[in-house]
Amino acid sequence: MSRPTDVAVVNRILVVGHGMAGARFVQELRSRDLGRRFEVTVLGAEPEAAYNRVLLSSVLAGKLTPAEIETVPSAWYAAEDVELRTGVEVAAIDRHGRRVLTTAGEHVPYDHLVLATGSTAWVPPIDGLTGDDGEPGRDVAVFRTLADCRAMLARLDRIRYAVVLGGGLLGLEAARGLAGRGVRVQVVHPADRLMERQLDLDAGRVLARTMDELGVRVRLNARAVRFTEGWGGGGRGLLLEDGTRLPADLLVVACGVRPNTRLAAAAGLATDRAIVVDDAMTSVTDPAIHAIGECAEHDGQVYGLVAPAWEQAAVLADALTGGPARYRGSAVVTRLKAAGVDLAAMGETDVDDHESDAEVLRFADPARGTYQKVVIRDDRVTGAIMLGGAETVGAVTQLFDRAAPVPADRRALIFPGVAAAVDPADVPDDHTVCRCNGVTAGRIRACGADTVAEVAATTRATTGCGGCRADVAALLTSRSTVEVPA
């Protein structure tokens, strides 16, 4: 049967995935599609409204409620004439018929299919972690979704001891959240340092000491071999390779994620580490299918952070509406979201001081939880670790983002007292305050907001990792104290 060719049908866009990438894409599309040329349907496997996954650790710690991390209210979709269907899982893609099949047996047609399926938690093959059905055991949890977070919160009163497998971003955030609730937590990590992909050895040591002071014990170079129960009737626990037994009422698995490429691979799309896309975020196999976020691989890179996903969402929305935007990759800045820890890492970090073409600035004060390292090549910041360096992290990040020349007195990158402090009122309008959303100081000043919440609602600043909240507040304060000439 031939396909209809009227405009309304030709422009059907189906989004599979209602996470941070999928929800942002729909917003970006509607902001460009003022004439409503596109019919948009969103299928989300989770039953929740769109929420900020980055802030799940704050919910676990009790700092925020689930409602407070909602990013796109469900009412927005109705107002923007977008069909949102939550709790719907897709079983297969029919590329020939341009439709997807849901697990309920329904066919949903598309003209452009946007895959924003994200990643799934990886559970290592350790004895006792999963049952016969391959699912995590009763006392084993992953920390990936709001449902995972709620499940842990529901059993907090029965948890005295917890072990977190994995000392990366997610593992440390989960561990800190549980410790903040009074749980005795240990992190088991197989590498010689925490966050080994982002930190050098010295920074990892300082971070481990900081975590210990916050109630999280860290075990490095440690390998788990079995999760079991019944040690003399003493409950469940984790056995390590060296024979150490750790008590655990709950085992949290945070050993990394894998891009969710199941649908794409089964449909014959090119996949490597993830779904291979071009500069327009379009599958290199099928021009009617696109991928963004953690399930997309561009130029050999798969980004597991929110800022690149949002950049990709904007590029795809622009490309589908006839715009010129193309994705050229992202300069990644990793921020750890854990109460009591202020950490940002970017670019090349594990650089030896003896490399002839690199300047390496370094300052460490482990007792105060401070470790700062800046790598400079050709008068440009090419990498940095800023642990406990809240005063200068903004300036260093800006220099890294823009590949701008560093100051002649390099000490100003680490010690804010070396250079005169910059009054928020003097920050230039083109200074990027919120990296996640690309919001400048000028845009914040011009939005007319009086509170951080109003700025967030108007510009989206602070709605990503939240690390710019203090800077936004300072801008608002400086604006309110500036005298207006009569």
Say what the pLDDT of residue 135 is: 84
User: Per-residue pLDDT averaged across 43-67, rounded?
Assistant: 92
Average pLDDT value for the chain: 89
Say what the pLDDT of residue 10 is: 52
- Domain 423-486 = CATH 1.10.10.1100: yes
Show the CA angle centred on residue 20, arms to residues 15 and 24, nearest 5°.
65
Domain regions of the chain by residue span = 7-119+258-320, 140-255, 340-421, 423-486
What one-character DSSP code corresponds to residue 295?
G
Res. 33 pLDDT band, cuts 50 70 90: very high
Percent of the chain with pLDDT over 70: 92
Question: Does residue 176 come out as left (phi exceeding 0), alpha (psi in the -120 to 50 range) or beta?
Answer: alpha
Whether the Cβ atoms of residue 439 and residue 310 lie closer than 8 Å to each other: no
Q: Per residue in 427-462, pLDDT tens?
A: 788 878 887 788 888 898 888 888 888 888 888 888
Question: Does residue 482 come out as left (phi exceeding 0), alpha (psi in the -120 to 50 range) or beta?
Answer: beta
Dist. CA 179–CA 166, nearest whole Å: 16
Say what the pLDDT of residue 234 is: 52
Dist. CA 274–CA 265, nearest whole Å: 9
Say what the pLDDT of residue 424 is: 67
Query: Mutual orientation of helices 201-213 and 169-179 as an angle, nearest 10°?
Result: 20
Q: Which two tokens stand for residue 297?
A: 């691989």
Dist. CA 149–CA 56, nearest whole Å: 7
Dist. CA 466–CA 425, nearest whole Å: 21
Say what the pLDDT of residue 479 is: 65
What one-character DSSP code corresponds to residue 186?
E
Q: Which two tokens stand for residue 149?
A: 């977070």
How far does Cα 286 stand from its chain's mean position? 28
Say what the pLDDT of residue 22 is: 97
Per-residue pLDDT at 481 exceeds 80:
no
Say what the pLDDT of residue 1 is: 34
Whether the Cβ atoms of residue 268 and residue 284 lie closer than 8 Å to each other: no
Top-confidence residue, 130 or 93: 93
Residues 6+ apart with CB under 8 A from 351: 200, 358, 360, 375, 383
Percent of the chain with pLDDT over 90: 66
Res. 6 pLDDT band, cuts 50 70 90: very low
Among 50-59, 117-126, 231-240, 429-438, name the one with the lowest average pLDDT. Answer: 231-240
Query: Which residues lie across from 240 on neighbouring strands?
Result: 224
Top-confidence residue, 338 or 279: 279
Dist. CA 127–CA 144, nearest whole Å: 21
Say what the pLDDT of residue 113 is: 98
HEC string of 326-375? Answer: CCCCCCCEEEEEECCEEEEEEECCCCCCCCCCCEEEEEEEHHHCEEEEEE
Whether the Cβ atoms of residue 195 and residue 168 lie closer than 8 Å to each other: yes
Show the CA angle centred on residue 399, arms to residues 324 and 476, nearest 5°.
85
Top-confidence residue, 114 or 398: 114
Q: Which CATH superfamily is domain 7-119+258-320 in?
A: FAD/NAD(P)-binding domain (3.50.50.60)
Per-residue pLDDT at 484 exceeds 90:
no
Q: Alpha helices of 138-266 — where are they, by DSSP H?
A: 146-154, 169-179, 201-213, 262-266
- Cβ-count burial 207-230 (b if 16+ within 10 Å, e if not): bbebbeebbbbbbbebebeebeee
Per-residue pLDDT at 422 exceeds 60:
no
Say what the pLDDT of residue 5 is: 40
- Shared fold status for 7-119+258-320 and 140-255: yes
Whether the Cβ atoms of residue 271 and residue 300 lie closer than 8 Å to each other: no
Say what the pLDDT of residue 423 is: 63
Per-residue pLDDT at 21 exceeds 60:
yes
Q: Is 67 helix (H, G, I), strand (E, B) or coil?
A: helix
Q: Is 441 helix (H, G, I), strand (E, B) or coil?
A: helix
Dist. CA 107–CA 93, nearest whole Å: 10
Output the CA torsion sign for 390, 394, 400, 406.
negative
Q: Per residue in 376-400, pLDDT tens?
A: 999 999 999 999 877 788 889 889 9
Looking at domain 340-421, its CATH class is alpha beta
Per-residue pLDDT at 195 exceeds 60:
yes
Among 31-40, 96-105, 260-269, 346-355, name the one with the lowest average pLDDT. Answer: 346-355
DSSP code string of 372-411: EEEEEETTEEEEEEEES-HHHHHHHHHHHHHTPBPPSSGG
* Spatial CA neighbour of 141 closest among 248, 294, 19: 248
CB atoms within 10 A of CB 448: 9
Per-residue pLDDT at 279 exceeds 50:
yes
User: Per-residue pLDDT averaged across 214-241, rounded?
Assistant: 84
Helix (H) or strand (E) holding 75: helix 74-79
User: Per-residue pLDDT averaged across 147-169, rounded?
Assistant: 93
Among 59-63, 170-174, 205-209, 234-238, name the one with the lowest average pLDDT. Answer: 234-238
pTM of the model: 0.87
Which range scores top for mean pLDDT: 235-244, 306-315, 388-397?
Answer: 306-315
Looking at domain 140-255, its CATH class is alpha beta
Say what the pLDDT of residue 402 is: 85
User: Per-residue pLDDT averaged across 118-143, rounded?
Assistant: 90
Residues 6+ apart with CB under 8 A from 140: 123, 128, 129, 130, 227, 250, 251, 253
Residue pointed to by tokens 């700092």: 63
Q: Is 217 helix (H, G, I), strand (E, B) or coil?
A: strand
